[in-house]
Structure 1
Amino acid sequence: MRTYDAIEKVSQVIIKDGICEAILVKGSIGRGDDDEFSDVDMYIVVTNENRESFLERRLEYLGNYLPLIYAEQVNFVAEQIVAIYNNGLHFDLYTVTADTMPHTDKAKIIYDPSGKFADYAAELKTVTKEELADCFNDSLYNFVEADGAYRRMNYPWASRIMDNSIAESAKLLRYLYDKDYAYLGLKKINEVIPEEQFIWLTEASANLNKEGFSKANGYIIKILEFVIGNMEDDVKCLFNLKFFEWMKVNLNTTLFT
């Protein structure tokens, strides 16, 4: 796949320069659930002494694969180049030291001659009960927010708000089947939840438009109802169920009319 071709060509030139201590790849490749459509999250581990030299040459290293059509410097979890190649591949190049390497996901070790990361262990970002409750309550809150946009006939804005409800309810749905990676939400959710529930999400998304809001909103409520029926009691007790019951009665009567 093009991802592995890019990993090999970019890492080879970096290794040849002798400028890094280790190279790891995270994201879907690190987890082992990547496919031909995956992007690359490559972490280059450098010493503090080599850091500036490496930062100056990042675009040169990335160009060893194919020409870039987009490149932007950001600092999200680390100093990073967000790059897109002319074949459409998305490649994120992170610069870290051994001490600043985040352990929030599984990793595939590409280069580690001194064994610095032989004992690397991922500290998975487990979704807390409180965060799940926020997802549930925010899904409902968005109905009220979107109602104003809908009544003003600003349907694109209403769609954008309700899209947040789909994303939040998807995280809850995923938690039922994939607790460790519930935080990924909609990412590859079609591979981890039953087809019936995936159809609910698909139909909700497909109907976020002027004519389809009633159908879309019904599917979101259906998802939340399923979540309530299958969620552990110690999580469900944190849900605003009174708000949910109110929503079922008032949707398409008080709201979205």
Structure 2
Amino acid sequence: MKQDVAIRQVGLAVKDDPAVRAVFLKGAHARGEQDAYSDVDLYCLVHSEGLTDFLARRISYMESYKPLIFWSEANFVGPQIVGVFEDGLHFDLYTVTAESLKQTEQILVLHDPEGCLANYKAESFPMSDVEITRILSGFTFSLLEFETAYLRGDLLWAHRLGSHLAADLMIVLRHVADPSTAQLGIKRLHHKLSPQQLDELTGALNALGPDALPSGVQKLVDLAVVLIADLTERLSENWNQRFFDFMVKRIYALS
């Protein structure tokens, strides 16, 4: 795959930089879940004193694979180049130091002559009960907004609210199905759900179009009722079951 070629060529280029101590992958390639559509998350661990000079050389290293047709800078976990090559490959080059490196995901080491990553232990990235409660509380309030939009006949806004509801619910589904990776949210969620859950969720999403409402939201509520019944004891003290039950009845009452 083109991803493998890009990893090899950019990896060879950066590993010879005097500032680079180690090179490794995160994301799908580190987890062994990559496919022909995966992007690349390549990390360079550099000496702090060489950081500034290394950052100036990143584009030339990336273009050791192919010319970039787009790139921008970000700072998510460290200085980052978000790049797209002329073959359409999305390739992110991250730069970290020993001080800024966070052990939040599985890695695949490509180059580590000093053994800098020998003690790296990937931490899980779950969501707390407080975070899940916040998401479900937002879901409940969005049901109120959806009801208003639907009854007003504003089906375009109602459809958009339905999409918001679906996104929140899918994060909670991920939390239940695979707590250790809950912060990944919707990405690759279809691999984590049971066939029945996936069928029910797909059916709800297919019914979120303006002409199908309120059916899709009612199907989402069906899923939410089951989820919350299983989660009740784990939700924080801020959870308002009364408001949720109130909104469930109102959504089911919609024509």
Q: Map 1:28-47 onto structure 2 (within 5 A).
A: 28-47=28-47
Question: 1:231 is paired with a residue of what secondary structure?
Answer: helix
Which residue of the partner structure matches residue 91 of structure 1?
91
Q: Tell me how far 1:223 sits from its aligned partner.
A: 1.3
Counterpart amino acid of 2:102?
P
Contact preservation (8 Å) 2:149, 2:157? yes
Mind listing any 5+ residue stretches in structure 1 that lack a counterpart? none
Contact preservation (8 Å) 1:28, 1:38? yes
Q: Map 1:126-165 onto structure 2 (within 5 A).
A: 126-150=126-150, 153-165=153-165
Q: Tell me how far 1:113 sits from its aligned partner.
A: 0.6
Contact preservation (8 Å) 2:190, 2:198? yes
Which residue of the partner structure matches residue 119 of structure 1?
119
Q: Map 1:16-35 onto structure 2 (within 5 A).
A: 16-35=16-35
Cα distance in 2 for residues equivalent to 1:50 and 1:161:
48
Question: 1:251 is paired with a residue of what secondary structure?
Answer: helix
**Normalized against structure 1, the TM-score is what?**
0.90
Which residue of the partner structure matches residue 204 of structure 2?
204
Q: Tell me how far 1:82 sits from its aligned partner.
A: 0.7
Instruction: Show CA shifts across 1:194-240 (max 9, x none).
Output: 12211222233233321122121012101111212333623387642
Identity of matched residues, %: 31
Mind listing any 5+ residue stretches in structure 2 that lack a counterpart? none
Q: Tell me how far 1:149 sits from its aligned partner.
A: 4.3
Instruction: Show CA shifts across 1:114-160 (max 9, x none).
Output: 00111101122221111111121111111223344445655444333
Cα distance in 2 for residues equivalent to 1:51 and 1:65:
22
Contact preservation (8 Å) 2:126, 2:175? no
Cα distance in 1 for residues equivalent to 2:198 and 2:239:
23
Contact preservation (8 Å) 1:228, 1:236? no
Instruction: Show CA shifts across 1:150-185 (max 9, x none).
Output: 456554443333222212111211222211012212
Q: Tell me how far 1:245 sits from its aligned partner.
A: 1.3
Cα distance in 1 for residues equivalent to 2:157 and 2:47:
47
Cα distance in 1 for residues equivalent to 2:67 and 2:200:
40
Counterpart amino acid of 1:88?
G
Question: 1:211 is paired with a residue of what secondary structure?
Answer: helix
Instruction: Show CA shifts across 1:90-119 (max 9, x none).
Output: 111111111111211111111111001111
What root-mean-square deviation, in Å, do the aligned CA atoms of Structure 1 and Structure 2 show?
A: 2.1
Cα distance in 1 for residues equivalent to 2:87 and 2:201:
30
Question: 1:91 is paired with a residue of what secondary structure?
Answer: strand
Cα distance in 2 for residues equivalent to 1:31 and 1:232:
32
Contact preservation (8 Å) 1:177, 1:192? yes
Cα distance in 2 for residues equivalent to 1:49 and 1:237:
48
Question: 2:225 is paired with a residue of what secondary structure?
Answer: helix
Q: Tell me how far 1:191 sits from its aligned partner.
A: 0.7
- Report the more deviating stretch, 150-159 or 85-94: 150-159
- Report the more deviating stretch, 73-82 or 16-25: 16-25
Instruction: Show CA shifts across 1:38-83 (max 9, x none).
Output: 2111111111222122111111111111222210111122111111
Counterpart amino acid of 2:100?
T
Question: 1:201 is paired with a residue of what secondary structure?
Answer: helix
Cα distance in 2 for residues equivalent to 1:152 and 1:93:
48
Which residue of the partner structure matches residue 227 of structure 1?
227
- Structure 1 runs (4+) deviating above 6 angstroms are none
Cα distance in 2 for residues equivalent to 1:148 and 1:205:
20
Which residue of the partner structure matches residue 76 of structure 2?
76
**Normalized against structure 2, the TM-score is what?**
0.91
Q: Tell me how far 1:8 sits from its aligned partner.
A: 0.9
Which residue of the partner structure matches residue 102 of structure 2?
102
Which residue of the partner structure matches residue 49 of structure 2?
49
Cα distance in 1 for residues equivalent to 2:50 and 2:152:
56
Cα distance in 1 for residues equivalent to 2:99 and 2:24:
14
Aligned pairs, number: 255
Cα distance in 2 for residues equivalent to 1:169 and 1:248:
14
Which residue of the partner structure matches residue 214 of structure 1?
214
Counterpart amino acid of 1:64?
S
